[in-house]
Amino acid sequence: MTPLTLTYHSCQALNENTVHICFSVESEVPFEAQAGQFVRLHFTQADGKETFRSYSIADVFENEKMVKKEISMAVSWVEGGLATGVLSGMKSGDTLAASGPFGRFCLLPERHERYFLIATGTGVTPYRAMINVLKERLAQGSEVYVVMGAQNETGLLYADDFEALEDAYDNFHYVPCLSRQQRSTPKNNDQKGYVQNYLSSHEFNPETDIAYLCGNPEMVDEAFALLKEKGLPVQQIKREKYISPKPRG
C-alpha cells in the first residue's frame, strides 16, 4: 500500500447521478495496481476524525498489472454523503490524500471456462478495468458474461465498452438486467428484472465456472446465496460490497 496524492483533473457525467472523475497520481514509489483493485480516498469527519472511502479504479488497464500515473473512478453521488460533498466540490488542480492499491477482486491466474462478472451501478468498473485481460481469456476460448443490473438504460455505465467487446467476440456476452424500464431499443440479451432473476434461470458448472459479484450489498448477498445454492463452490464466488466504513467514534 502506497500513500498517494491525487490531483483532480476532470469530471464527466455518466448519468444524472454518476460521474467519471480523473486524477493524476503522485507517490514516492511508483503506484502499481492490478485491474480490479481500488483506492481509498482520505477525508476528515465533521468531528475532526480521519476516515476514508473506497473507489474502484475505472480505467481500462493496458496490462493486468501496471504503474499508474493517472486514475479514474466512477462515483455515484449519495445525498448528504461525506465523500460526495468533497468530490462534487472539487476543481481542477485540487488535491486529495489517498492510499492504495487495495483488494483482491482480480482475475485469478488460472483460466476458467466461464466467467460470470455480475454488477450493479458503479460495481461494473472493476470489469471495465479488466477488459484487456478478458480479451486474453476470450482468445483462449473462455466464455465471459458481464451481467449488469440497473433500473433503466442510463444506469448501464460504460455500456459502449462492453458492447464493443460483444461485437468483437462471439464468446463475450453483455447482459443488461433492467428492473424498472427497458431500453428504448432493446438488444437481444436484455433481461427484465434483477440480476438475481437472470442468475436463477442459469445452471452453473462447479468444475469450470467462476463468478464475481460487485456493487450493492443486497444484490451481492442475494446473488451469493443463489450461486451457492446452485452448486458453485464458495471459493469460486468472489465478492466486493460497496459500503462505507462505520463512522469512527
Ligand X SMILES: Cc1cc2nc3c(=O)[nH]c(=O)nc-3n(C[C@H](O)[C@H](O)[C@H](O)COP(=O)(O)OP(=O)(O)OC[C@H]3O[C@@H](n4cnc5c(N)ncnc54)[C@H](O)[C@@H]3O)c2cc1C
Angle between helix 131-139 and helix 159-168 axes, rounded to 10 deg: 20
92-121 positions binding ligand X, by CB under 6 A: 103
Q: Is residue 243 involved in binding ligand X (CB under 6 A)?
A: yes
Number of residues that bind ligand X (CB under 6 A): 22
Q: Is residue 56 involved in binding ligand X (CB under 6 A)?
A: yes
Contact segment (CB under 6 A) with ligand X among 61-69, 71-79, 107-115, 152-160 equals 71-79
Is the four-CA dihedral 178, 180, 185, 191 of positive or negative sign?
A: positive
Beta carbon nearer to ligand X, 82 or 106: 82
Q: Is residue 242 involved in binding ligand X (CB under 6 A)?
A: yes
Beta carbon nearer to ligand X, 73 or 146: 73
Contact segment (CB under 6 A) with ligand X among 19-27, 175-183, 200-208, 240-248 equals 240-248
Residue nearest to ligand X (CB): 81
Distance, CA of 189 to CA of 163 (rounded, Å) = 11
CB of 99 to ligand X, least distance (A): 13
Per CB under 6 A, the list member of 84, 154, 179, 197 interacting with ligand X is 84
Distance, CA of 167 to CA of 144 (rounded, Å) = 13
Is the four-CA dihedral 225, 241, 56, 22 of positive or negative sign?
A: positive
Q: Is residue 78 involved in binding ligand X (CB under 6 A)?
A: yes
Q: Is residue 55 involved in binding ligand X (CB under 6 A)?
A: yes
Per CB under 6 A, the list member of 23, 31, 38, 172 interacting with ligand X is 38
Which residues touch 191 (CB under 8 Å, ≥6 apart)? 175, 176, 177, 178, 197, 198
For 37, half-sphere exposure in the C-beta direction (CA atoms, 13 angstrom radius) is 21
Per CB under 6 A, the list member of 125, 142, 191, 236 interacting with ligand X is 125
Beta carbon nearer to ligand X, 12 or 244: 244
Beta carbon nearer to ligand X, 154 or 171: 154
Beta carbon nearer to ligand X, 42 or 114: 42
CB of 58 to ligand X, least distance (A): 7
Beta carbon nearer to ligand X, 27 or 56: 56
Per CB under 6 A, the list member of 44, 182, 205, 244 interacting with ligand X is 244
Binding site for ligand X (CB under 6 A): 38, 53-56, 73-76, 78, 80-84, 103, 122, 125, 240, 242-244
